[in-house]
Each structure stands twice: as C-alpha cells, then as structure tokens.
Amino acid sequence: MYVLGIEGTAWNLSAAIVNEDDVIIERAATYTPARGGIHPREAAQHHSEHIGPLLREVIQGARDRGIKIDGVAFSQGPGLGPCLRTVATAARVLALKFKVPLVGVNHCIAHIEIGKWKTGARDPAVLYVSGGNSQVLALRRGRYRIFGETLDISVGNMLDKFARSVGLPHPGGPRIEELARKAKGYIPLPYTVKGMDFSFSGLATAATEAARRYDLADVCYSLQETAFAMLVEVTERAMAHAEKREAMLVGGVGANQRLGEMLRLMCEERGARFYLPEKRFMGDNGSMIAYTGLVMLKSGVSTPLESSGVRPNYRTDEVEVRWA
Ligand code: ATP
Ligand code: FE2
C-alpha cells in the first residue's frame, strides 16, 4: 500500500509517499520568519505558495516509479489554523482526484508512530519535545494518554526565547547545545516539576537574568541540565506509573545529544530500553503523516470529507488507537 502524506502544522511544509517498508520520496519547504517568531498568516501564505510545486514533484516521483497512490493523509491538528487549512484543502482535492480514501492524522501521534516504525520500539513511554509541544505520553487502554506536559511554554520555545534574549540566532536549540559544550561551571536555575507536569517560562526568565552576570556558555549548560533533568524526571515517573520497559524521544529538541544521553542513562539504571530515531524523522516531516495514515487506513480508519475540518487543538487522547 502506498500513502501520500502532507505535513504543515507550523513552519515546515512537507509531503511524502511511504509504503509498509520505507519512505519512497519526501520533499519539504521551510518557512523562516524574517524576524521574531512564526506568524501564522505568513506561514500559511508560504505553504500555499509552495504546496502546488511540492505535491507535483512528489506525485511525479510516484509516477516515475510506477506507483499508484492508495490513500491521502494530512496533518489535521494540532497546529496553526491557517496552515492546517492550506494542507487540508490540498489533501481533499487529491483524495477526490485519485478517488482514494482521505485520512486526517494527529500530528503528535504521527511523531510517535514514525519513531516506533523507524526504531523498532513496541510500547514506549514517549517524550515529545519540540517548538510547539512538550509532553510525556504512553499508550494505555487504546489511547495515547498524556502523562505529563508543560504548564506554560514548550521546552523548544523556551530555548528559542532565551537564545533571542541573548542575541543568538534562531533556532536557539542547536546554538545553545554548542555553547553548553564549552561550559566550565554550573549555575543553579529554577527547577519546576509540579506533579507530572513541568513549567519552563520562569526558567527562561531566570536564564536571561543570569546571562547578564555569568559566562554565556555556563548559562547555556545550566539551562540544558535543568530543563532536561525536569523532562527526564517526568519521563521516568511515567514509565513507572504506566509500567513501560521502553522510552523513546521524538520532536525537534530530540536532536539534542545531551538530552538523549540523559534519557539513555536513566533507562540503563532502570533496566529499560531507550530508542532514539534518526534526526530526519524526529522533527516535523511528511513521512510521519504518510506512515500514520497508512497504519490507520490498514486498520480500517478513514476520514470522510464532512469530518475533515482542521483541528487546531487536537489532543492525542481523542484518538482511538485501533492499529496498535
Ligand atoms: P511541533 O509542530 O511538533 O511543535 P516544531 O514546529 O517546533 O514542531 P521541530 O522541528 O519539531 O518543529 O522543533 C523545533 C525546535 O527544536 C526548536 O525550538 C529548536 O530550537 C529545537 N531544536 C533543534 N535542534 C536542537 C538541539 N540540538 N537542541 C535543542 N533544541 C533543538
Ligand atoms: Fe512536530
């Protein structure tokens, strides 16, 4: 079975075709704001300019390989309304044109499913950390339940905010990681875990404050150590609570080697297995939507046109996971 998937919840527009075994073709176009954060309208404008050529290229790629598309999947949410609408419109048109089923995919679940596909993880507690999301999830009674999440901003957003406040280029995560390697000392910063949830906005402010008095590399290091320790603590508690013997890291912040190392150590101490997908499958990508669409279609799930409206606040636990 071949499924075409389109991702476009935020800054990255990406389309891909996958089958059960592999990614056949993937193309992406990235929106980069001129300055500051992402503007939903501008991002949607970017997507609508690029989606035509992008899809033509991917569909031509399928034709060249003699592939017939059996379904069209799209990121239905969560994400920015205007971006989601652009993607959903294109997906509906293609499904009608090819006369194949349409399937709306939850973006967060797609991160998890592609991670499992690419690493061989079976039933992990998942730490999903990106610019828009920070959650700890695990499958229980047929749904991906959110065990813990941020009470304010995501960890990626926190890193980007801090970076901007000290004049580092966007995205901040990679630059902070680089600087942290040169650190010589640790500066205490606020560690905030409440129950199973974490909070990052106070940490961003405190780090910006600290950067006025201390060496920037030391602040970057301390910021990472503090924020990641919070994430690891909640992941570990979710594993204990949900009785999971595996953990997996997904989302753009997952590219951070220090975070991966901290999770690996925690898992080793618990006698659990740790799974880390390849970087290209950790950030937003079209393949994750295509693949999740494929497993959904195979389990008999599809989305009729009348229920294909976008869902900017789509929660993971709204989806009944029939394919696991
Ligand atoms: P989502 O729609 O899932 O919220 P997103 O639009 O934020 O995703 P991603 O590619 O998943 O996109 O994540 C981008 C975030 O990852 C940015 O906040 C960026 O700073 C962060 N990031 C990227 N590389 C690193 C790194 N090496 N260390 C820490 N953070 C990183
Ligand atoms: Fe994402």
User: Which numbered ligand comes closest to the C-alpha of 33?
Assistant: 1
CA of 203 to the centre of ligand 1 (A): 18
Task: Please tell me the distance between residue 30's alpha carbon and the centre of ligand 1 in angstroms.
Answer: 13
Strand segments, DSSP code E, in the chain are 3-7, 12-18, 23-30, 71-77, 102-106, 125-129, 134-140, 143-149, 193-194, 197-198, 246-250, 273-275
| CA distances (Å), origin 109, targets 54, 318, 323 | 24, 11, 12
Tell which one of 11, 109, 284 to mutate to probe ligand 1, the residue whose CB is within 8 A of the most ligand atoms. Answer: 284
pLDDT band at 127 (very low <50, low <70, confident <90, very high): very high
Instruction: For residue 175, give the amino acid letter.
Output: R
pLDDT at 36: 66
Q: Which residue do the tokens 């997996």 mark?
A: 248
Beta bridge partners of 73: 5, 103
Query: 174 by DSSP, 3-state: which?
Result: helix
Query: Per residue in 197-207, pLDDT tens?
Result: 999 999 999 99
Pull the structure tokens for residue 135. Answer: 């959650």
Parallel/antiparallel/unpaired status of strands 71-77 and 3-7: parallel
User: 83 falls in which pLDDT band (50, 70, 90)?
Assistant: very high
Q: Could you report the per-residue pLDDT of 152-185, keeping only the tens digit for each?
A: 999 999 999 999 999 999 899 999 999 999 999 9
- Both tokens assigned to 316: 């993971």
Structure tokens given for 52: 């035509």
In the chain, what percentage of residues exceed pLDDT 70?
99
* Closest ligand to residue 133's CA: 1
**Is the shortest distance between the CB of 26 and ligand 1 below 6 Å?**
no
CA of residue 138 to ligand 2 center, whole Å: 17
Closest residue CA from atom 5 of ligand 1 = 131
Q: Which residues have CB under 8 Å from 1's CB, separation 6+?
A: 19, 20, 70, 71, 294, 297, 298
| 31-72: pLDDT as tens digits | 987 776 778 899 999 999 999 999 999 999 999 999 999 999
